[in-house]
Chains A and B, each alone.
Chain A
Amino acid sequence: MLPERFRTMFRSSSALASPKSSRPALADKESVVTRQSRALDQFFTYIDDQVGLSILDLAGATQENVSFVTDLGHKLYTQDFLRSLDDTFGADEIQEQAAGNRIDYFLEQNLDFPENTFDGVLIWDVMQYLSPALLSATIQRLHTIVRPRSYLLAFFNADDKSTHSPKTTFRIQNKSTIELVQRGQRKQAQMFNNRSLEKLFGQFESVKFFLTRESLREVIVKR
């Protein structure tokens, strides 16, 4: 049997396995990839010896993530950021995300927590679907509700030729392994490179990047 880090499973052929196209995939086939994640490993290494922490997950609740985080003895808060984004602004209505009053409403609905509430945030890939104005306000709010010296885990599409990226559900398998379940594509609001990400998280203490073979940029941000 191959070592776990080489184990990659494709349950079906996938348009997302080669995300070079700038158009949404015609077929809505599901692909499942299981692989190592150095950023995930670092995120959980940082909180390894602690229990009773408050962890925020912005990508909705999945059985795997709920079980993993709560089995470590932490309290998990989940928000389905993308579903709420679509409910508030409409699906793929990126320009609608610029209205100031609706940004305030969105943040009240999704990130209305007291200062320094969280010890870690699993952002996953949701930030790449936010307009610049909404993204900036969201990052500012995260900076407020996350405790100093806590960590955030975020993923960004690293393929700068693609305007769409796979709609992905991230399922934690263990401390350093995730399963990516991809179905369909979603239009990104903006593209990111290392420089723009450093600028985006400029008020945080540090930003560390890991580039994966799925053209995904994994990012660990320290508050």
Chain B
Amino acid sequence: MSTSPFNSPQPESAKNAATIGKAVKIIGQIFSKEDLYVDGDVEGTIECQDNKLTIGPNGKLQAAVRAREVIVLGQIKGNVEAADRIEIRKDARLVGDIKTARIKIEDDAYFKGSIDIVKHDAKAAPATPRPVTPAASTATP
């Protein structure tokens, strides 16, 4: 699912990943069984439990997120569970609670919320994340 022009270079983290381009808005639930790169708008939930989720610099999420690894360059408003690690890059913005095993926050990143470091052996049984806003429609890539 890509809206990027064929000749525009893709960011490193978008290679080999399903892509939601910056002109796309999705309201609903996204389940992915491969790495996912989101540079557009998403309201609802995103789950890619065994894969990496990257929010590009234009990405805006109002969503509960669950992934193995989360890289944030854009904006997230919602709770994030990253089983392995989360990175909040410079100029990224995350408002919500984080549950993860490891976290990296770059200088000039904005984060507001709580950080709960969960060791792998102490993880609770997985539960489905609740949408931040009621879903108006559902898109399942």
Contact A78 B104 (CB under 8 A): no
In the complex, per-residue mask of B64-93: 1 if CB is within 8 Å of any chain A CB, else 0: 000000000000000000000000100000
Q: A75-B115, A78-B115 are in contact. Are A66 and B110 (CB under 8 A)?
A: no
Contact B112 A78 (CB under 8 A): yes
Q: How far is the CA of A83 from the CA of B110 in the complex (A)?
A: 9
- Among B104, B112, B117, the residue within 8 A (CB) of A63 is B104
Q: Which residues from B are CB-within-8-Å of A60?
A: 110-111
Dominant SS among interface residues on chain A: mixed
B132 at the interface (CB under 8 A from A): no
A28 at the interface (CB under 8 A from B): no
Q: How far is the CA of A78 from the CA of B98 in the complex (A)?
A: 11
A77 at the interface (CB under 8 A from B): yes
A79 at the interface (CB under 8 A from B): yes
- Among A67, A70, A78, A83, the residue within 8 A (CB) of B113 is A78
Contact A66 B107 (CB under 8 A): no
Dominant SS among interface residues on chain B: strand
**Whole-angstrom distance between the Cβ of A126 and the nearest chain B Cβ:** 14
A62 at the interface (CB under 8 A from B): yes
Contact B105 A63 (CB under 8 A): yes
A61 at the interface (CB under 8 A from B): yes
A80 at the interface (CB under 8 A from B): yes
Q: Chain B: how many interface residues by the 8 Å CB criterion?
A: 15
**Whole-angstrom distance between the Cβ of A81 and the nearest chain B Cβ:** 10
Residue of B nearest to A83 (CB): B110
Contact B112 A80 (CB under 8 A): yes
Contact A75 B114 (CB under 8 A): yes
Q: Which residues from B are CB-within-8-Å of A77?
A: 113-115
Contact A66 B103 (CB under 8 A): yes
Contact B105 A66 (CB under 8 A): yes
Contact B117 A61 (CB under 8 A): no
B109 at the interface (CB under 8 A from A): yes
Contact B105 A75 (CB under 8 A): no
B116 at the interface (CB under 8 A from A): yes
Q: How far is the CA of A153 from the CA of B117 in the complex (A)?
A: 23
Contact B114 A62 (CB under 8 A): no
Q: Which residues from B are CB-within-8-Å of A71?
A: 117
- Among B107, B113, B116, the residue within 8 A (CB) of A62 is B107
B34 at the interface (CB under 8 A from A): no
A76 at the interface (CB under 8 A from B): yes
**Whole-angstrom distance between the Cβ of B25 and the nearest chain A Cβ:** 25
Q: Which residues from B are CB-within-8-Å of A83?
A: 110
Q: Which residues from A are CB-within-8-Å of B112?
A: 78-80, 84
Interchain Cβ contacts under 8 Å between A and B, 17 examples = A60-B110, A61-B109, A61-B115, A62-B107, A63-B105, A70-B115, A70-B117, A75-B114, A75-B115, A76-B115, A77-B113, A77-B114, A77-B115, A78-B111, A78-B115, A79-B112, A83-B110
Given A70-B103, A83-B110, output 9 extra A-B contacts at Cβ < 8 Å.
Answer: A62-B107, A63-B106, A63-B107, A66-B103, A66-B105, A67-B103, A70-B117, A75-B114, A80-B110
List residues of B whose CB falls within 8 A of some A CB: 88, 103-107, 109-117
Closest 7 CB pairs of A and B: A61-B111, A70-B117, A77-B114, A76-B115, A63-B105, A61-B105, A75-B116
